[in-house]
Structure 1
Amino acid sequence: MTRIITPTDRETVAGRLLEGSVKRSYDPVVDLDWDAPLEDGKYFLPPYVLSLYGTPMWESMSETQRVELSRQESANILSVGYWFENILLQALLRNLLHHDPTSLHTRYALTEMGDECRHMTMFGRAVEKMGAKPYQLRWYQAIAANLLPKTFRGTMLWVAALIGEEIFDATQRRVLDDPQLQPMISRVMRIHVTEESRHIRFAREGVRRRVAESHRLERLWVGSVQGLGGLLLQRLFTNPAMYQRAGLDPKQARRQALANPRFRENQRRGFDSLAEFLEDTGLMRASSRAMWRRGGFL
């Protein structure tokens, strides 16, 4: 059943988030030591969150191959984050055309956009620093990425923001202090989760507000289709190109990753909080629930 959730006044939320931004914001260009060398033997993602961890293929790999797989999976995730931030920025800019430029809400949206621009810079420099190459959108993905910002309106805008933010955020919080992790990656994650916590609060309040104000057909539509995010993320998290770059058979690696219960458990843990929120706001309909389950997130 949907719980009754009262949204907080938009200006009140924005005012609090602006205060938080003044107290705790970062500039990755100066707040990260990009000249510090990488540490030999350390992972770019902890082994237990890698898609192949515990599979027969993983057991056959040398330690050097495992570290390389972590480099490629990390570069892939940072590339996906870069794409998503770009799409979100386009959608937020379109949304701001219809808001009062003097309001606190608009001021915080612009502040968040500044954060996201710095995150994109940070992701790109991190990929370069780890000695990897960024992953590029395929032609059909590029077409979709250019069309999506035009469809992210109303409730869908805020739900899409949460799908792109919360799953990554939950995993980063769980692993950023792992001693096996490269210090540079740990610092990138810490900066990201600190600022993303405000972005998530902003988006959640946006969802609550829209659910309280919008027509039931909009809620039905969003609740029925947002599960496409689960299918998309599953595909992106098992990108065959990253296995190929790590020197593995891409088809066999992806097959084992998708069948890997540890990988699916990591997906579920990342989605838990957002799944609960979508259920509570009435935005988890049967079709979306089925898609998230098929994607391995439920």
Structure 2
Amino acid sequence: MRRRDMEGVTLSRPRPYLTRMVLFLILVGFLALILYAQLATAFMSNPGLNGLIVGVLIVGTLYAFRQIFVLWPEIRWVNSFRRSDPGLALPKPPKLLAPMATMLGNRSGHMILSAFSMRSLLDSLASRLEEQREISRYMIGLLIFLGLLGTFWGLLVTVSTIAGTLDGLDVESNDSLAVFSTLREGLQAPLRGMGTAFSSSLFGLAGSLILGFLDLQAGQAQNRFYNELEEWLSTVTDIIGTNGDEAPAMESNQALMALVNHIATLTEHMRAEHNALTGVARNQEALGPLLERLTRALEEKGR
């Protein structure tokens, strides 16, 4: 639960998400221990590719935990900054909140942010968090890709070895025992290829499932940190410009908007006058032949 005190919002530490990740890994390890014999046999079907899959899983797991641990200094810095008085020493500047630390490092007196500054800080933080999660998503996709790669590799070996086995059979031989023995020896390679295909798929999909859960917990921890930081910044944000620094900017914006509206109205009037003049010109062009005929008729009557 988010904690609150008399001074405002306190950012909470992501311990619940870290606990879920540890418990999930303990459960996975327990299941792997129970199925150790089957997993060892499947792993040895293609130790090279399966070892690569396990290595990517280990790296992705460590990176998921890193995403949680990097939030601790950020939370500590924000809580220390919120509680400390202006001019006092603060902890080491954070990395994710580096723009915020630069902007607010030289504060004096009560801190008030504009809505634009708040949105800029939150957008910068969101982009940094999203950049971190892209690596985890790539590793999840990489595990699925390696599993599919092993599947197609094993199927390719199976198809090629079956074709070679069938070509090597002597169907015209009268010794059926020798034909059966040749067929049995020839089917060993296709079966190894199927083992490669299924074992790689097993490790790849299982690894992506494990890493996906860890990435989900890391993402929830980051979202909680982002939401709590947004709540705290909203308590020190001046939206309508009640402080003295925002008033001139608001007045300038209002004057600029009034000028834009006046120019738009003047443009509409000029357009209407232009249309009226165009209509008068057209009417004069239409009356020209009538006036000429009327003049000729009067001249004929005068003769």
Same fold (TM over 0.5): no
More helix by share: 2
- Larger relative CO (CA 8 A, sep 6+): 1 or 2? 1
TM-score (norm 1): 0.29
TM-score (norm 2): 0.28
Structure number with greater Rg is 2
